């Protein structure tokens, strides 16, 4: 069964004669969206040094994609402690705020809507990325499998093994929440339309949520209620700053990214969806539980679809689902009331005018994975739009001032 709220949205659209739900208007919070194609957050590792400041190219990149119903910015570290990858931008310094203001100005000039995704990576970091080469922090001192992406002595990107993090003390938790509060105020000062709390993909808040990474015995560990506490406290702390209807939360039920898992995911994420539903948020944004199967062109496994339905039933507000979609599968999930908005990631990298291409059933540019992270305009601002392909618009932004 789908929730009554979700089902009524689809019925309203169908009764109004709509045939393609992906391109029907949608409202959440104070915003009226022209369609339901969202740009998912995408780490691109192109911030300038020193200071992890968004570059002038970033303003061009996001403005090119302003036809998205909503842009969710790349993950943005809330503090120096929150950084986990080389060349990723922050939202904790004056220079960063001013640079982000240029980004939001460019997006708004292009009639776009942009939320800032607030990010603390927790243990998915390395002393080389931390202030004073300190250990990364986590709910528990458990070393993740895999490698950190750092900048080496030659100013090159390099993969190095993760280290054993330091467990946060109970007394540090209020300070951690203060980091989020400061970042939210900075996002407001940078003229973002809203914020998204990144609680997915094995980063710090997700590390508290999931049982494999949280072995605490205090009020932030153990039961589902205790493991959910940090996310709910952060959410409650940010509502007075931005207002609930301009705050989203991202979760990744059944996600495996960054060496994470949960013993009882239905109980854990069902509880979170139910609790978050009571805040009147702008939206809940989940990574598609069937992501891997749909990316591979396979039929989603029943357990993945059951998780998606569970979240849909527990969360009564606007639901964004991201990952593995094409135009047909996005339309089907909307028609089945499994989502209200669909977020696309990689397709937006190579197709700045993705909504237009999907609406017209036009060919999509093919993305180049070798240019995902680091570099300049190549693979960032040089993908052409349909108008540029037709010679109706000037070529894409080219600016070598990226570092």
**Do 64 and 385 meet the contact criterion of CB atoms below 8 Å apart?**
yes
What is the maximal distance between C-alpha atoms in the chain? 63
315 classed as catalytic: no
Contacts of 385 (CB under 8 A, 6+ apart): 64, 351, 352, 353, 356, 393, 396
Catalytic residue among 85, 203, 380, 383: 203
Q: Tell me the sheet residues that pair with 65.
A: none
Burial of 2 (0-12, 13-18, 19+ CB in 10 A): middle
Q: Which runs of consecutive H residues, i.e. helices, occur in 169-223?
A: 173-189, 204-209
CA nearest to 74, candidates 43, 50, 105, 95:
43
SS3 372: coil
Query: How many angstroms separate the CA atoms of 89 and 22, rounded?
Result: 31
- Contact yes or no for 313/348 (Cβ under 8 A): no
Report yes or no: 128 and 160 within 8 Å, Cβ to Cβ: yes
Q: Evaluate whether 50 touches 304 at the Cβ level (below 8 Å).
A: no
Q: Angle, to 10 degrees, between the axis of helix 173-189 and the axis of helix 229-242?
A: 30
Burial of 34-65, coded b for 16+ CB within 10 Å and e otherwise, reads: ebbbbbbbbbbbbbbeeebbbbbbbbbbbbbb
Catalytic residues: 203
């Amino acid at each position: 069964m789908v929730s009554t709220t979700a089902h009524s949205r689809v019925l309203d659209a169908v009764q109004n004669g709509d045939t393609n739900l992906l391109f029907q208007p949608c409202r959440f919070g104070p915003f009226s969206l022209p369609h339901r194609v969202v740009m998912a957050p995408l780490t691109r590792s192109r911030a300038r040094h020193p200071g992890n400041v968004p570059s002038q190219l970033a303003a061009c990149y996001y403005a090119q994609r302003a036809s998205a119903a909503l842009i969710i910015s790349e993950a943005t570290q809330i503090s120096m402690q929150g950084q986990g990858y080389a060349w990723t931008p922050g939202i904790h310094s004056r220079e960063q705020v001013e640079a982000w203001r240029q980004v939001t100005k460019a997006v708004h000039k292009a009639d776009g809507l942009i939320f800032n995704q607030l990010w603390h990576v927790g243990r998915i970091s390395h002393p080389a990325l931390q202030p004073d080469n300190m250990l990364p922090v986590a709910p528990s001192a458990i070393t993740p499998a895999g490698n950190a992406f750092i900048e080496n002595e030659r100013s090159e990107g390099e993969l190095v093994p993760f280290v054993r993090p330091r467990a946060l003390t109970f007394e540090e938790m209020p300070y951690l929440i203060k980091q989020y509060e400061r970042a939210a105020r900075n996002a407001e000062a940078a003229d973002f339309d809203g914020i998204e709390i990144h609680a997915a993909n094995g980063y710090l808040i997700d590390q508290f949520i999931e049982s494999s990474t949280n072995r605490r015995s205090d009020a932030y560990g153990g039961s589902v209620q205790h493991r959910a506490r940090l996310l709910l406290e952060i959410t409650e702390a940010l509502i007075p700053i931005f207002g609930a209807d301009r705050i989203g939360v991202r979760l990744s039920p059944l996600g495996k990214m960054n060496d994470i898992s949960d013993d009882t995911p239905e109980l854990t994420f069902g509880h979170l969806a139910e609790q978050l539903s009571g805040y009147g948020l702008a939206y809940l944004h989940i990574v598609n539980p069937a992501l891997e199967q749909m990316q591979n062109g396979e039929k989603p496994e029943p357990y993945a679809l059951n998780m998606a339905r569970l979240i849909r039933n527990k969360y009564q507000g606007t639901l964004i689902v991201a990952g593995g979609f094409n135009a047909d599968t996005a339309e089907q999930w909307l028609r089945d009331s499994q989502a209200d908005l669909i977020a696309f990631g990689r397709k937006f990298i190579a197709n700045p005018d993705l909504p237009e291409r999907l609406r017209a059933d036009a060919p999509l540019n093919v993305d180049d994975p070798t240019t995902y992270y680091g570099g300049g305009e190549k693979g960032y601002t040089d993908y052409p739009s349909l108008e540029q392909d037709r010679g109706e618009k000037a070529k894409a932004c080219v600016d070598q001032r990226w570092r």
